[in-house]
Structure 1
């Protein structure tokens, strides 16, 4: 279990954050100065409220030193989230999220994954482009139905909409995605979109 480091300005948010950590391995920080010299980055998960005392630049610096960073924003937006994820953060939440939601995000991050809200994931998939016509050599690894599912994922459609479009069940969509993730060696939809886009760029 990683040690939780908390840097937050709002006392009401602090209460929720402390409840979410639910661990003796938690330390409230009063600054982010030279954090890499005070803690072993790989052994910590850092919860940070975005503020004038913790800017996107500051957070990028912490990520470069190996910290897993979960960022909280008073007014979260897709644009802000995208900028932060490009800096390497592992998760993005509203400052006043419930303890349960924060705990879910932390658990996801500690298992090596990224915590994305649905709107942020949709925006990120759209940001890497949805065209699959540049070069689709990668599709030879997939069945025709798996390829059809991937095309709809790249259009940012959720599983239910994909199922309706292809006239199959959501369970079948999940099965196709599971197989696709394994074949292309990715963990989730965002990684799939990024890999396909990179593949197109390299092959074009």
Structure 2
């Protein structure tokens, strides 16, 4: 497996090479333009892209990653921010980033991160994703065209998700079983073309939550 890495920090780069699994090849580039050129020329060569978000240019790097995700939506992307930012995390997950990790992540945890992403999930931990949704709690948005296909019950489930409720809490709130909640969510994700709870929550909420 090959991973394309945009990383201008030598210490972090050295650490990544120490914790990456045997058989995985890291390819380092220094500029965003190099990332784009390589992925355009060889879109299937790199299974993942690792992006280190430098503190000095943090806000710009967040938007740079967002632009790559918009241009190459099928590319798996993991970001390694140099500072904690709830708004940046919301922004990055909303554009399709698959995972967010500490720059000096441990070897076993990095292996787990890639395994979780490979299974189709977002890495950040369920508690972290739940916290993102809850901390961005705002009144429900005006009707969104992507939500028009939902039934009344499905819309209720989607609104509960946007409030940060778990499946168990949604079941209690709507007086249905957890199994029914899961069935509704499967249908909702398909109809709204969202892949997880966070993406759905951001769809239901006003766009201002990702500023």
| Rounded Cα–Cα distance in structure 1 between residues aligned with 2:177 and 2:106 | 32
SS state at 1:168 partner: coil
Structure 1 stretches of 5 or more lacking a match? 200-204
What is aligned with 1:39? 38
Provide TM-score, normalisation by structure 2. Answer: 0.64
| Rounded Cα–Cα distance in structure 2 between residues aligned with 1:136 and 1:81 | 23
Asked if 2 retains the 8 angstrom alpha-carbon contact of 1:63 and 1:87, the reply is yes
Deviation string 1:42-74 (CA, Å, 9 cap, x unpaired) is 343221333358744245436535465311135
Asked if 1 retains the 8 angstrom alpha-carbon contact of 2:157 and 2:181, the reply is yes
What is aligned with 2:26? 27
Deviation string 1:78-125 (CA, Å, 9 cap, x unpaired) is 234235446764431223444454345445656887545443464357
1:169 paired with 2:150, answer no
Q: How does 1:1-204 map to 2 (within 5 A)?
A: 3-6=2-5, 7=7, 9-10=11-12, 11-16=14-19, 18-19=20-21, 22-24=22-24, 26-29=25-28, 31-32=30-31, 34-36=33-35, 39-41=38-40, 42=43, 43-44=45-46, 45-52=48-55, 55-58=58-61, 60-61=63-64, 64-65=67-68, 66=72, 68-85=76-93, 89-106=97-114, 115-118=123-126, 119-120=128-129, 122-123=131-132, 127=136, 129-131=138-140, 134-135=142-143, 141-197=149-205
| Rounded Cα–Cα distance in structure 2 between residues aligned with 1:163 and 1:104 | 30
Asked if 2 retains the 8 angstrom alpha-carbon contact of 1:91 and 1:109, the reply is yes
Structure 2 stretches of 5 or more lacking a match? none
